[in-house]
Amino acid sequence: MTTGICTGRVAVVTGAGRGLGRAHALALAAEGAKVVVNDLGVGLDGTGGASGPARQVVDEIRARGGEAVGHGGDIATPDGAASLIATALETFGRLDTLVNNAGFLRDRMLVNLDEDDWDAVLRVHLKGHFLPLRHACAHWRAEARAGRTPEARVINTTSGAGLLGSVGQGNYAAAKAGIVALTLVAAAETSRYGVQVNAIAPAARTRMTERTFADTMAAPEDGFDTMAPENVSPLVVWLGSAASAGVTGRVFETEGGRITVMEGWRPGPTADKGARWTPAEAGEATLKLLAEAEVPQAVYGAR
């Protein structure tokens, strides 16, 4: 059942040719948004490229009576990110929602992780969030300064790997942790321009996670597939709509029918000597503080 919660809005979704991005694009369109579908059409490791996936999603949206346009630029480059935002403005005359979702994996244990694999993953995930966000916010700032303060929304995509760490994914985890920090900074800096910035940490079965969730590939007997990407999209649609007014700088974990507000670093037990510690004193005080502190959650994949 649709409600038209995004009627009149224009949304941009990166990495929207498959998986979560595709589900988000279709859900936004179903709720009345006009959608820019960005996808390079690359493989799981970021190599190759084809326009087919984005075009197919555009065709799906149009077949269902919606409005959409494809964009095949590399959003981790200044020109590609600029053209992404320009496509929304030139095609639909406005921009209201940006969903940063594009990414790929090159998993290695740290001792086997080479510099190219580190740079490639950081580039697409973290830089691929920063550049579209920068260009979108520059547009919204100009609108606000012209007296047309928008109800703008940004939804970034982090991961449990970025919140807790994940064995064999040092590059991916670092990028996703960086996205959380970027989200917090952007939310604080752009609120004066009518922009809200939040992040989701989704768990769903996609090309990137099919090995992780291989044991959930079979259709459930009760008809509810908890790992379907479509389960994540309702929260994205709501965060991308005007109905989410006042919600910014937050991180949500979402999977199946579950939504969790993630609470980040907060001060825990503290000791203050009022003077400089000796190393032995610092160690003794630290051990006492750790005994009082909560035990951190385990890193994904740790034994």
Q: Which residues are catalytic?
A: 159, 172, 176
How big is the CA angle at 55 (ends 132 and 213), to the nearest 5 degrees? 75
Q: Which amino acid is at 128?
A: G
Give, rounded to a whole angstrom, the gap between the first and last alpha carbons of the chain: 43
Cα 178 from Cα 127, distance rounded (Å): 10
Assess contact for 6 and 24: CB atoms under 8 A: no
Cα 296 from Cα 110, distance rounded (Å): 22
Cα 236 from Cα 170, distance rounded (Å): 26
Cα 286 from Cα 162, distance rounded (Å): 26
Distances in Å between the alpha carbon of 144 and those of 9, 12, 122? 17, 20, 31
Handedness of CA 279, 284, 290, 293 (dihedral sign): negative
Q: Which residues pair with 77 in a beta bridge?
A: none
Cα 200 from Cα 24, distance rounded (Å): 12
Which of these, 22, 15, 24, 67, lies nearest to 46 by C-alpha position? 15
Cα 177 from Cα 78, distance rounded (Å): 22
